[in-house]
Every structure is written in structure tokens, then in C-alpha cells.
Chain A
């Protein structure tokens, strides 16, 4: 019953796992490329939460540093991914990932 009375590491991890699951769900199920990107952001943030939670309960600063890296990375990733989406739109005239399957065979 301790789980409901005091907030510990596990709570963070659960939140993070839920967030990861939602992100994954969005990536797999959504058709819109933008939404898929948003799913990716969710997963990155889930990872960030994990990093920060481990950092807090471990007492070092390494986790925070990794968190900052991930944020930077996410920004770069978003920029590149959006560029890809724009090109994709230019090429296929759509942002629906399910209809872009020219890699087949």
C-alpha cells in the first residue's frame, strides 16, 4: 500500500512507461505524419522522465545532463523530421504515411 502513500521512483517509471506507450501507440496507429512525429516526441519525453527520475534517486548530475541532450536532440530531430515531412508532401502530395509505400518490393 506504500505505493499510494508516498511518491517514489516507481511512480515516475510508471508515468514514463505510460507516456512511452502512448507515444508508441501514436506512431503505430496514426496516419498523419505530423501526429507520428508527435508520438516520437512523446517517447523522447518518456525517456527524459526516466533519465531525470534516475538522476534524482541516484544523486548525481549525469541524468540531468542527458536530459538536456535529449531536449536538444529532440529539437534537431523535429527540425529534420519536419523537413522530411515537407519533402514527402512535395513528392507524394500527402502526409499520410500509410499511403506512402514506394519502398515495397
Chain B
């Protein structure tokens, strides 16, 4: 008998699939294309998820909570050359899963509600909801999976649904291009991920997370540590693709071609966070080297995307780059070992970024499909609800105190500082420095966006006439507030961006329920001696101190005492000295991080106000003055061009080369053999035609012509015959006599 929560989670998983199946087949036959069905089913999904959330998070409130259930899905028996091959399917519920379930189903439900307003009147209205259903199903599958194999299946399914939804307006060439780009870029990451899965499978003959952890902990990994690092980095490649990390980030900004609610659901809140979620799932098997790679990739991504976001004009593109940047933060957080902080940021970011995207959707809707911020302005009076919610979410994204984003970002940055300290400074300080710098840029570009969109005077009339497109026959209508179906999700999401939802202390997320429930698991990889100087083959797995979560304001404890007290009062106790050291250092740096990040956020917002609100510095002139830098940012670091010049041109060149080889060498051989056979055939044919047929025809001709000649002798006159006989006999006689005489 399954645990009732497992049964509930199966219901949660299957409900969106039901929505998909019903809508994809019946949407033309149902009234309103069946949107009420989709919304209703998603409402039920959210209700059941909320129930699970309640049971796991509120009722149990236990950091070590874990439930799992699995069954043999496919049993291949003993496969020669591979060994026993069983593929299991299963469900695992822990605190993170419960939170993710609630988050995904809530945002998905809100996006469904919002879409009934946003997508109203679309040609493929019903199909849109069907796609949302299959997406939600696959995303919940990722969250609930208990093994690498099933997560890979759902991983590809979210990739598919993302592909379908990016190209939802497939009649537009740019949308069709964007969906292809997204799919192919993800494919690069997914191949790495699959190879990583295979490395682990080849060692342990299992896909299950828990079994893999146990095997590694027991030291069953027979190859060198480098292979484990390779496996970790390869698995991380899946995250690089899906979470749009450098250098595979290029697809996410283009994915904004999809409908805006889809951008909110898939390309901001849930699917792109799946990569981070996946890295969290494999976190314990990552070696120190793999973690370093992850940390640097995250830092570079966060910084790069933030610099690009500054100069973009398209409201959704700014948000897209900000998403890439924030995902970079999460990955950075995982890389530096700030596990709970990274996942906390995933959760907070999901709410405020979904709010921002839905808000931008409301703006775009109100502006009649205008997305360029240069032609907006002065919207706050016309759309007060959107303005209020959008601003609140912006503050959370920028990381202002009293918001959820402040707590999570601050925790990550504290982790990064602690990490740099433990790793011994030097280049490792690059990570927190990039992190803080990105925080400054984030505050700046979000301030810029708010100002350009909501304040000042409307600049819609400034738009050059030749940039007008199809919709603009009614483009000069006044912007108006959006209907309640679209307003309600904004309000809910904005409310979820307030600190109080997550923690009683606005300055310290670690006091909240999330950081208590989702704690850094102890690594199962043997400690790397070069980093710690301690040779420990530890019994890994965090020994979690249950129930101890005292309200110790650790910042006020003097430095020395605090170090000793640390383990008792603050989070889990680590057997791994490196993890323990980082957690300790992160905690010590918490105040520092708060200070720094408040300063940079204030700086960023102040700069945005100085430039855009007060006009002390003209953005155009500044752009002119630092034109190369401006262009570098505006052209997105030229990544598209670089990929075009290397990967795309390269593969085109390769394919041309192969095509040439194919047409000239392979086809040449085939055609040569063909020509040879044909020539041989021609000559035997000729022999047949002329020699053999000639002989036959000649025989016939001879017979015919001699017959024709002979038939003239047959006159039918008896006397002629007689003369012939006479001549013959006479001839014979003469001949006889001549013989006789000679």
C-alpha cells in the first residue's frame, strides 16, 4: 500500500496530462475551446499540490522528510555486455519536491487564468491550453522523479513543450526560428546530460538517485575521481542548456517570441529552473572540481546577462536577460555550496519573475503589442494595478530589503563570499565580485525599465512610422488596465514576493521555513585533500539536527564564540570539513553581504534614477562616449554572431563537405559501377544485336530469299518441269561421261 501522499502526487502528476489529452482532442468541440476545463483541472492540480505542501511543509515540518516509491518499469533481464538492466520508475517526495510542486502548480494555474484574458480570441486558443497542460505534466514529472532515467524523459518532454509554445505563433518566421534555436541549443546540453547519466549507469547499473548516492558513498565508483568530476560536469551540461547558462544561454532571449504567459511560466519560473533543480538533485555527487566549474559558469552567466540587459529595448528581452542572470545566481549559489540559498532564490525568483513577465504581458496587451520600451512611458496612471505589482516584483528582483529577492540573493552572495574565503581567495573572489556587480547592474536595469515604462510622458507618438506593423491600425488607442483575469494573478504573485511569506526576519532568510526545510545535504564524494588538508573518508550524509532552529542572531555573537557555537545553532552539521567550513564562512559573511548588497542595490537604483528620472546624465550621450562597450552590450556580447561564425558556419561547412563527399566520392563510386555495368551491358547488347541476332536473321533471310528465288522455278507448267528434269539428267549424263573418260 502506497503512502497516501504518493497517491496524491500521482494524481497531481496525471491531472495536467488529462487536461492535455482532453483539450488536444476535443478543443474544437468544447465551448470556449475548453479553457474552463484546463483552468479547472489546473485549479484541482494546485489544490492537491497545496494539500501535499500542507502535509509535508506545515504538518511535518521536518528537514529530513522523505518519501519514495518505485516500481520496475522495464526489466531487460541480464543483458550481455551490460549486466542486469532494470529501469525503474518512481516518485520521491521531500521538502524540496513539495515546495516545487506547490510553486509549479500555483504558477501554472495562475498562468492558465491569466491566459484566458491574454490569449482571448487567438486562432489556436484551445491548442494553447493543451500545450500548457503537457508542459505542466512534464514539469511536475521532473519534480517528482526519483531517478535519472525518468527525469531525462520528462526533461525532454519539457523541452518539447517549450519548443511547441515558443513557436506557438509559428506563422511568424522569427517564432519558428526561435523554437528551432531553443530546441537545438537544448539538445547540446541534453547530450552532455545523457552522457553523464551513462557514466553513472555504467558504474552502478542503476538510475535511482538514492542508489547512486549510496554507491558513491560506499566507494563503489571504480574509475578515477576525474571521471566523477566529468560525470558531474556532463550532468551539469543539461542544466547549462535548460537553464540557459553561459555558453548555451542564447536560446532564452529568443524564446520570448512565444506568448508572454508562456514566457512567464516556462522561460522564467519553472522550466528554466528545472536545470537548477536537477543540479540540486545531483548536488551530493558533485566533486569539488565540478562545483568550481559550476560556480564560475554561474558567475559568468549572471554578469554577462546583466550587462546585456542594460541596453536592450524590448521589455521582454530585458526580463529574459534578467532571468538568465538570476539563473546564473542560482547556479553560482549551488557551485559555491550555498545549496539552500540557491533553491530559495529559485523559489522567490519564480514568483517575482512570473509576476514581472505577466505584468509585461499586461503592458504589451494594453499597448496593443508594443514591446519596445522606447515608445512606452507614463503608464502608471493608466494601469495602477499593473504598476503596483510590477514595481513590487521589480524591487524583489533588484534585491531591496523587505522583499523575498533580497533574502535569497543575499544568502547566495554570503555563500559566495564564504566560498571565496575558504578556497583561499585569489581568483575565487571573482565569483562574489561578479555576483555583487551583477546585483548592481540588476538594480540599474530594472530601475531603467520601471522608469521607461511607467514614468515620464507617453512616447508612443515618437515611434518612427516605418516601424509600425500590422497591429498599429489601432496602435494609438489609449492604454487601459487589463481585465481581472489578468490582474488577479499579478496581485497573488506580487504578494508572494514579500519577505513575510518566507521568513519572519526581513534580513535573514535562514530563519524562514524554507531554509529550515531544505538544507544542504552532505556530499557523498570523498573529500579532496588538496582543499581541506584532511584525509577523511567520511560517512557522508548530513547529520541533521532536528528541531534546533533557535532564533540566534548569530551576527551579534562575537567572532570567536560564534565559530564554536556555529554547528549547534545554525543549520546542519557537516562531516565534510570543506562544506562545514564554507557554511561557517558564509554565515560569518552574512552581515557583510547584507551591507555590500544594500550598497550596490542603492547605487544601482540611484544610478538609474540619476540617468532616467532626473536626467543628469543623458543615456544617449553616454552610449556615444563608450560606444564600443555599448555596442558590445547591445549586440549581446556578439554571441549570436560568434555562434553563427563558428558553430553554424562550421556545421554548414562540414555538411557541405560531407555533401560534396557524398555526391562526388560515394555517388561517384556508385555511378562508376553503374556506368561500368551499363557499358558492359551495351557491348553484350551489341553482340547480341549484331552477332547472335545477325546469325538468326541471316538464316531467316537466307531461307526467305532462297525460297523466293526457288519459288520462281515452280511455274506450275508441267512442261517446264520436264525440261528441267531433262536438263538435269542430261547434265548428269554428260558429267558421268566426262568422269568416265578422264
Which residues of A line the B interface, CB within 8 A?
24, 27-29, 36, 97-98, 100-105
Contact = CB atoms under 8 A, between A and B. Distances in A.
B715 A101 contact: yes
A101 B723 contact: no
B719 A24 contact: no
Nearest to A99: B717
Given A100-B717, A105-B716, 11 more contacts: A27-B719, A27-B722, A28-B719, A28-B722, A29-B719, A97-B717, A97-B718, A98-B719, A104-B715, A104-B717, A105-B711
B726 to A, nearest CB: 7
Contacts of B723: 28
A28 B726 contact: yes
A24 B723 CA distance: 10
29 contacts: A24-B726, A27-B719, A27-B722, A28-B719, A28-B722, A28-B723, A28-B726, A29-B719, A36-B719, A97-B717, A97-B718, A97-B719, A98-B717, A98-B719, A100-B716, A100-B717, A101-B715, A101-B716, A101-B717, A102-B716, A103-B714, A103-B716, A104-B714, A104-B715, A104-B716, A104-B717, A105-B711, A105-B714, A105-B716
Nearest to A36: B719
A25 to B, nearest CB: 11
A102 B723 CA distance: 18
Contacts of B722: 27-28
Contacts of A97: 717-719
A42 to B, nearest CB: 14
Contacts of B726: 24, 28
Interface string B707-725: 0000100111111001100
A102 B716 CA distance: 6
Nearest to A29: B719
Contacts of B717: 97-98, 100-101, 104
Contacts of A29: 719
Contacts of A104: 714-717
Interface residues of B, number: 10
A80 to B, nearest CB: 15
Interface in B94-140: none
Contacts of A24: 726
Nearest to A24: B726
A78 to B, nearest CB: 18
A29 B718 CA distance: 11
Contacts of B718: 97
Contacts of A36: 719
Nearest to B721: A103
A100 B718 CA distance: 9
A27 B717 CA distance: 12
Contacts of B716: 100-105
Contacts of A101: 715-717
Nearest to B719: A28
A20 to B, nearest CB: 12
A96 to B, nearest CB: 11
A28 B715 CA distance: 14
Contacts of B711: 105
A29 B722 CA distance: 11
Contacts of A100: 716-717
A29 B715 CA distance: 16
B353 to A, nearest CB: 109
Interface string B698-742: 000000000000010011111100110010000000000000000
Nearest to B717: A101
Nearest to B718: A97
Interface string B199-220: 0000000000000000000000
Nearest to A102: B716
A97 B711 CA distance: 20
Contacts of B714: 103-105
A36 B718 CA distance: 11
Nearest to A104: B716
Contacts of B715: 101, 104
A28 B717 CA distance: 11
B704 to A, nearest CB: 15
Question: When A and B form their complex, which 8 residue pairs have the shortest distance between CB atoms, in order from nearest?
Answer: A104-B716, A101-B716, A103-B716, A101-B717, A28-B719, A104-B715, A28-B723, A98-B717
Best-buried of B714, B719, B726 by chain A (most CB within 10 Å): B719
A100 B715 CA distance: 10
A44 to B, nearest CB: 16
Nearest to A30: B719
A100 B717 CA distance: 7
B517 to A, nearest CB: 119
Contacts of A103: 714, 716
A103 B717 CA distance: 8
A103 B714 CA distance: 8
B729 to A, nearest CB: 11
A100 B721 CA distance: 13
A85 to B, nearest CB: 13
A27 B726 CA distance: 11
A33 B527 CA distance: 139
Nearest to A31: B719
B723 to A, nearest CB: 6
A101 B715 CA distance: 7
A35 B711 CA distance: 29
Best-buried of B716, B718, B726 by chain A (most CB within 10 Å): B718
A45 B715 CA distance: 30
B727 to A, nearest CB: 11
Nearest to B711: A105
A89 B591 CA distance: 151
A24 B726 CA distance: 9
A101 B717 CA distance: 5
A35 to B, nearest CB: 12
A27 B721 CA distance: 11
B634 to A, nearest CB: 105
Interface in B616-650: none
A105 B715 CA distance: 8
A72 B715 CA distance: 33
A27 B716 CA distance: 16
A84 to B, nearest CB: 11
A79 to B, nearest CB: 19
A105 B712 CA distance: 9
Nearest to A98: B717
A97 B719 CA distance: 8
A98 B716 CA distance: 9
B266 to A, nearest CB: 98
A16 B636 CA distance: 136
A13 to B, nearest CB: 16
A65 to B, nearest CB: 27
